[in-house]
Structure 1
């Protein structure tokens, strides 16, 4: 097994792309918000929102200043994410269903995203970029040791003395 050494980065900087799509012909819905994806960045950036593209139908924004961090106690969740048919990143946002989603966390852990979802935060799943997949894969290969499955012992569901002879 290879060793990642002390210089392996456990932090990865990312930005989040969002979009506001104008809705026409709907009586009460005027706009619809979406999370387009997450992109890797290589320099540290302050948290900010920048308008990227404006058309008649859509406005796109770039949210900067997010950091993915790997934790050994999340290895099981990372492993299951990597082996899923479509590995995902999770963007956790503030705001209700009618407002702009304001990202405050990007995570690789389904367990962490589910906890935020249960606390009524808005959680969006997006495709994982290949660069982040390879980074997380190296970490999981180095540190993850699956627990061996334990065979459970069958319990007797009847009493031997009361069984018919």
Structure 2
């Protein structure tokens, strides 16, 4: 068992009917809630009518890693700190209907960025105050901003010509036009 702070959560996904002849249904993230033993371990349909379905996906462990403290800090520093959920469509559900299945849940901006860079479906919902309070305590204990590095003045940089070769500047004046022919 890890000694990292961990939250057990469940994900609620919503499937809603839309007026579109090519895509009659749309999936979206509804919420992230604390996991409860009564939820079990398998996804289940909670509610269904002609306009909407709501599915519960229990059993996600959200661990906080010290080396990702900056990602949590960025989330807390945003205007609306949130849960990030990556989900994928599962076409082979045995019911004939595709199911949007959550794969990962995180509180890190870095995780969400990596998932988006990989072209995954990522959505977010606001994180409740008690989760943010614990996250803030973790960040306060583990996040060290990188020290700002002093930029060297341009006068200390080596000169290069337009081809990247070393170049030099002389302050000596050229006399007599500088060419090979002199005055005679």
User: Which blocks of at least 5 consecutive residues in structure 2 are unaligned?
Assistant: 91-97, 160-167, 174-184
Cα RMSD after superposing both structures: 2.6
Cα gap change, 1:131/1:41 in structure 2, threshold over 3 Å: closer, same or farther? farther
Q: Could you say which structure has the greater relative contact order, defined with CA pairs below 8 angstroms and 6 or more residues apart? A: 1
Q: 1:40 aligns with which of 12, 34, 41?
A: 34
Alignment partners' CA distance in 2, 1:23 and 1:110 = 30
Q: How many residues align?
A: 154
Cα gap change, 1:85/1:107 in structure 2, threshold over 3 Å: closer, same or farther? same
Aligned-residue offset at 1:54: 1.4
In the other structure, the counterpart of 1:106 is: 105
Alignment partners' CA distance in 2, 1:145 and 1:61 = 39
Q: 1:75 and 2:69 equivalent?
A: yes
Aligned-residue offset at 1:125: 1.8
Q: The residue matched to 1:161 in structure 2 has which SS?
A: coil
| CA distances 1:1-32 after superposition (whole Å, capped 9, x unpaired) | xxxxxxx86010011111110123x2212111
Q: Is the 8 A contact 1:95 1:122 kept in 2?
A: no
Q: Is the 8 A contact 2:4 2:65 kept in 1?
A: no
Largest Rg, 1 or 2: 2
Question: Under a length normalisation based on structure 1, what TM-score does the superposition of the two structures give?
Answer: 0.81
User: Which blocks of at least 5 consecutive residues in structure 1 are unaligned?
Assistant: 1-7
Alignment partners' CA distance in 1, 2:119 and 2:128 = 27
Question: Under a length normalisation based on structure 2, what TM-score does the superposition of the two structures give?
Answer: 0.73
Q: The residue matched to 2:33 in structure 1 has which SS?
A: strand
